[in-house]
Structure 1
Amino acid sequence: MRTSVRRALWAGVAAVVVAAAVPVASAFGAGTVTATFVAASDWGTGHEARVTVANGSSSTLSTWRIEFDLPAGTTMGSFWDADVTRTGNHYMAVKKSWMGPLNPGASVSWGYNGTGPYRAPLNCTINGASCSTGTTPTNPPTGNPTTNPPTGNPTNPPTNPPTNPPSGGKKLIGYFAEWGVYGRNYHVKNIHTSGSAAKLTHILYAFGNPAGGRCSIGETYPAYEKAYTAAESVDGVADTWDQPLRGNFNQLRKLKRMYPNLKVIYSIGGWTWSSGFTQAAQNPAAFAESCYQMVEDPRWADVFDGIDIDWEYPNACGLGCDASGPNAFKNVMAALRSRFGSSALVTAAITADGSAGGKIDATDYAGAANSVNWFMPMTYDYFGAWAAQGPTAPHSPLTSYTGIPIPNFYADAAIQKLKSKGIPASKLVLGIGFYGKGWTGVTQEAPGGSATGPAPGTYEAGTEDYKVLKNTCPANRTIAGTAYAKCGSNWWSYDTPSTIAGKMSYANGQGLGGGFFWELSGDTANGELISAMKNGLG
């Protein structure tokens, strides 16, 4: 990759579940203010419950408090979007301080994970009155521990949030770069406003750092400390100084509420940080434990649905070289699967080097296939201006072509090699780059010309986003299933909606699991490339 579970479950229970509705509910009325408990998921040894507080009165509800007992054998583990205290098996949940008043006719939800199968709460009260008698006043008695937040801070989520059910079972996966909130000014909200969230099935959050053989947050400020204004926030609600989670993680939490089918996976490593995997491979179980503790931190466990490993490259060279042996990657992935459990998403971005004796051959990827949900061969960045004098070549060829600088450096060669090793086609997802690679000092329009160095780029010489290139150097030629153009002395190659359509058709024809891309900020403001991927996958 360039640069650089679901809800937390209890100790000893490493299961992650799909939030499908379960027809189990317990509604407790309190006058015109109600609290409804629903089992969002139930997997026998644990469950996820969602609690909805609805204000059916004609008055604004400034705050709320729910008290209840859980039946014997059931306990609450993690919770979100409410402050919960416990005495024995008695629980009290109150409105978060950052939530605004609950307007007439509005509702708000919070949730928790519990041990054992779902069982309806007992002795429920809302705002101090018995739920069964229905005598709760609109506003609670004096002395409720929750204080009213500042006015003008709307909090109610959309009544009917948009959904994004995957079509045809194909995955459409996009990377969100943690550092994009800086110079690129790309935020989680942009995934929503571009229309892309409704098309994606999964977001990969890049990157966690495997330094010292342990998973750690890449950078804490953008991850969970940065405060968002109402204008910047996904749901139009500003962060407050005292809320426990801010930053990208909280914004992703809000995005998932709006798009219930969208999954988020924490990606570890990347080009810059892959050296940490060498030490991780020396003690895979310890590494897996550290990753589990990071991903399933109670502050953001509901944000993430699993873990992704972007190791560049096991038993081979990337920015640095690894000599852990051909079994290292397989052992690490097996340890992660064991620790995260069978229901978590465990995925990996892998090399797309289809050459004989190349990076695919250096590692037992097939041996790791049973541990992962899918592999993402990075079928881009085959060629670029790190070879400063050229020859110019498309960085993401789908097929070979006459004059290709390195044999089998193209997507189909990698896919066929991985399939030949016994990896099911459905566990392979085709990669697309939302950027171009370019040279300057080029006189020849066709690929294969000489150059003097990398072409200028907004953030990195030799690299430019699609959203820029489509205007500054529109592609007018194609080769090997991708596009290129020469503009003055600059030569660029990149994928367009048209070439992406062809690549998605290839993915369908090969029986692949779908498509993924690096990364969201490279697309246009209206998600032009993501739309092409979505339409192509069908």
Structure 2
Amino acid sequence: MRRPARPPARPPRRAAALLTAILLPLSLLTALAAAPAPAAPAHAAGTLTATFTTEGSGSSWQGKYVVRNSGSAASTDWTLEFDLPSGVTVSGHTHGEATVSGSHVTVKNAYYNGRVPAGGSTEPYSYTFTGRGPIGTPTGCTINGDKCDGTPDKPPTAPGTPTVTTATSRTISLSWPPAGAGDYPVTTYEVLDGDRVAATSTTNGATVTDLTPATRYTFTVRAKDRRGNTGPQSPPVTATTVDPATDPTPPTPPGNLRATGKTQVSASLAWEKSTDNVAVAAYDIYRGSTLAKTVPASATTATVEGLTPATAYTFTVKARDTADNASPASNAVNVTTDDAAGPGNHLKVGYFAQWGIYGRQHFVKNLDTSGAAAKLDVINYAFENVDPVNHTCLAGVVKGVSGNPQDPDEGTGAGDAEADYGRAFSAAQSVDGVADDGWGKLRGNFNQLKKLKAKHPHLKVVVSLGGWTFSKFFADAAATPASREKFVKSCVDTWIKGDLPAYNGAGGPGTGAGVFDGIDIDWEWPGSEGHPGNRWGPTDKNNLTALLAEFRKQLDATGGAHKLLTAFTPADPAKIEAGWDIKKIFEYLDFANVQGYDFHGAGSDNSWEPKRTGHQANLHRDAQDPYPFDFSVEKAVQTYLDAGVNPRKLTIGFPFYGRGWKEVADGGAKGEWQSANGAAPGQFPEEAGTKGYHNLLTTVPNLTVHHDEQSISTYGYTGNNGQWWSFDDPWSIGKKTEWIRSKGLLGGMIWEMSGDTPTGTLMTALDNGLK
């Protein structure tokens, strides 16, 4: 019984070595960047206060906040926030971990001065910074969410009297003069129907919806500041919804709907005005049959956001009058969004293995020194796990795998918070040459990825969930609407919002914000077998589609820049049919990375194809292939294209490693498709049959490299009864990238970056081939 196309060669064994954090002298404490936590809701003043003083003069001076405790019990920790005076910048933070976002500074206590005794202060270890610019006192200071001077917050004033701008049978639109600010800027207005919040707005206007026709309503408005303080209510306004019986005539349809622009995630539209016997109240823009956006009657343009790249959409517009009569639809307009790479460009995606920092000694820094970071567009950080009990995204644990690839529980509950954000890297291992201290809230690979992104601003980084060893509980997480919502929320909270669990002094709310720009789903495999012990079944296919829809929904809801949603998808047509509804999933995915390797191999446990060699990453089917099935890049891609997938939604996988056999007969074919006796020695003892490209070329003696022009395959042979290896090299990468461009595909993906040479030989070949 043949083994279907394998998942990528992802080493299942992850070193459990931990590095004890190195504590530097207090005088060398340096603040590390961490995303500011959202402002706490207003509450009574606490017992901590903070007093600001300055020392020095001229353009460089010292600012210091002394935290004092007037209460009867010691504090356990503190967070200080303030806004810098105009023209002032700060650096050289000591005795606290600071984040600077524009002029706003957030400071978390150092590990040694969070406890402030009753009646005591943080002296002599009070937070201090070096200021540049005119000496001045910061404003808006809070300590643990309370004003630093200990006085209660002053809320906003009441807004002015609202006026009714539009009334329909089911909606009333209001505007009002803005409220005056108290101690903090106004961020939100609430429209009240009695005690019920009927609508919220960030501007001084709002529309109350879902009202009853021909009904009288009275509304007031109140302001809320960024700290959650609410002001008094405005004077009331009374309005009556329209009685639809008084106006049965709908508006005329909007005319000449047309597309005026598009991006990867939006489409801009324009149309001609409708007319109505009373008045047009609004225009409703539909994406297919789904209401996508509503704009007021004064607008004849709209931009629909929240779309996915390289996806075809059909839009129509309907006018609606004050009686909520809808017009006939406008003409339909079709828009295909731009792809993720941009017109004429190709995407390069590379996996970075979390555990590579151990035996491989491959660090995030190596992506920079090899030149790969400048050439890559997206880094997939592999892998994070699914909690075996809660079926949520698992983080904050340090638990190795069992070491037995046939163990059904090999990856259950495993993870490596130490590699993720706990390890303190030395200066020699750091992207910017600056060592981590031992108490920063974000260390490890995550901090290095943030440094790499700062150095290469074009780079996006996504977190890859699952993989061969960590896909066991995907089916449980995706099983029901409730479980999907719970799972996705946990993933967004952990990896996008950065709420990392506490680990060895690291982690905490928001500490991982800014590391990841999206999420990559590596479920291996829905609807069919994968790692021994995986949960799977016939409902996985539909549940996967629903899971991706939930990810897209919640990622979009985070706001800000578009968050990537990608997936690693199979080459085997049988696995595609069993678990991937490729006519639907690309509505939610930015793109998919199609498996382009592991078509043949011996495997570390000799359970796969130990008795015969075979190409692992051939572009075309080899005419000499004795197997009855066809595994090739071409075959895999055609399966997707035949289903109508836009080619600019697909990248093709390239192996930066080889698959090898031992005791291979020559057979007059240089070992190609010949008998063998198991997997060749691997780069590591537990990874028989697998070597990174650089390791392969430098450790296998007498290896002669051959190129199969017909199938576009590279292989190496050491001679009769020797080793035989299948891999990609610059020659095959050049041929494959030429084919990718000819098919109009999006680009290439790499598993995984540590296999390349120190100077990035394969990455350079891929980059050159996709230009």
| TM value normalised by structure 1 | 0.73
Higher relative CO (Cα under 8 Å, sequence separation at least 6) belongs to 1
Out of 268, 274, 279, the position equivalent to 2:476 is 279
- SS state at 2:583 partner: helix
Asked if 1:418 corresponds to 2:640, the answer is: yes
Asked if 1 retains the 8 angstrom alpha-carbon contact of 2:90 and 2:130, the reply is no
Shift of 1:329: 1.4
Asked if 1:210 corresponds to 2:371, the answer is: no
Stretches of structure 1 that go unaligned for 5 or more consecutive residues are: 12-29, 34-60, 67-82, 101-107, 115-125, 146-164
Give 2:430's aligned residue.
233
What amino acid maps onto 1:399 in structure 2? H
Asked if 1:449 corresponds to 2:439, the answer is: no
Asked if 2 retains the 8 angstrom alpha-carbon contact of 1:205 and 1:264, the reply is yes
- SS state at 1:273 partner: coil
What amino acid maps onto 1:518 in structure 2? W
Asked if 2 retains the 8 angstrom alpha-carbon contact of 1:84 and 1:94, the reply is no
Out of 374, 379, 397, the position equivalent to 2:591 is 374
Alignment partners' CA distance in 1, 2:132 and 2:360:
52
Asked if 2 retains the 8 angstrom alpha-carbon contact of 1:127 and 1:136, the reply is no
Give 1:514's aligned residue.
747
Alignment partners' CA distance in 2, 1:9 and 1:512:
41
Matches within 5 A, 1:50-69: none
Give 2:347's aligned residue.
171
Shift of 1:85: 2.7
Give 1:503's aligned residue.
736
Give 2:448's aligned residue.
251
Matches within 5 A, 1:305-316: 305-316=517-528
Give 1:111's aligned residue.
101
Alignment partners' CA distance in 2, 1:307 and 1:186:
23
Alignment partners' CA distance in 2, 1:206 and 1:257:
21
Alignment partners' CA distance in 2, 1:526 and 1:536:
17
Give 1:436's aligned residue.
658
Tell me which structure has the larger Cα radius of gyration: 2
Alignment partners' CA distance in 2, 1:130 and 1:188:
33
Residue by residue, what CA displacement relative to the aligned partner does 1:155-186 show, whole Å, maximum 9, x if unpaired? xxxxxxxxxx9994311110000000111111
Alignment partners' CA distance in 2, 1:439 and 1:254:
40
Moved more, 524-533 or 236-245: 236-245
Out of 683, 697, 718, the position equivalent to 1:487 is 718
- SS state at 1:397 partner: coil
The structure with more strand, counted as a fraction of residues: 2
- SS state at 2:593 partner: strand
Moved more, 338-347 or 376-385: 338-347
Distance 1:290 1:446, change over 3 A: same
Asked if 2 retains the 8 angstrom alpha-carbon contact of 1:383 and 1:395, the reply is yes
- SS state at 2:629 partner: coil
Shift of 1:399: 0.8
Q: How many residues align?
A: 429
Distance 1:344 1:8, change over 3 A: farther
Distance 1:245 1:451, change over 3 A: same
Give 2:563's aligned residue.
344
Give 2:503's aligned residue.
none
Asked if 2 retains the 8 angstrom alpha-carbon contact of 1:310 and 1:349, the reply is yes
Asked if 1:466 corresponds to 2:693, the answer is: yes
Asked if 2 retains the 8 angstrom alpha-carbon contact of 1:65 and 1:94, the reply is no
Asked if 1:289 corresponds to 2:489, the answer is: yes
Alignment partners' CA distance in 2, 1:216 and 1:112:
33
Distance 1:178 1:32, change over 3 A: farther
Alignment partners' CA distance in 1, 2:725 and 2:767:
25
Matches within 5 A, 1:356-371: 357-371=574-588
Residue by residue, what CA displacement relative to the aligned partner does 1:473-527 show, whole Å, maximum 9, x if unpaired? 3522325112012114101010001110111111111111111100110000000
Give 1:242's aligned residue.
439
Alignment partners' CA distance in 1, 2:596 and 2:131:
61
Distance 1:7 1:513, change over 3 A: farther
- SS state at 1:313 partner: coil
- SS state at 2:528 partner: coil
What amino acid maps onto 1:301 in structure 2? A
What amino acid maps onto 2:359 in structure 1? G
Alignment partners' CA distance in 2, 1:524 and 1:233:
19
RMSD between aligned alpha carbons? 3.5
Moved more, 283-292 or 398-407: 398-407
Out of 290, 294, 317, the position equivalent to 2:529 is 317
Shift of 1:276: 1.6
Alignment partners' CA distance in 2, 1:352 and 1:113:
50
- SS state at 1:500 partner: helix
Give 1:302's aligned residue.
514
Alignment partners' CA distance in 2, 1:518 and 1:204:
10
Shift of 1:301: 1.3
Residue by residue, what CA displacement relative to the aligned partner does 1:426-466 show, whole Å, maximum 9, x if unpaired? 01001000000010010122421011100011121001110
Asked if 1:476 corresponds to 2:676, the answer is: no
Shift of 1:332: 1.1
Asked if 2 retains the 8 angstrom alpha-carbon contact of 1:434 and 1:495, the reply is yes
| TM value normalised by structure 2 | 0.51
Moved more, 190-199 or 207-216: 207-216
Alignment partners' CA distance in 2, 1:86 and 1:261:
30
Alignment partners' CA distance in 2, 1:183 and 1:273:
20
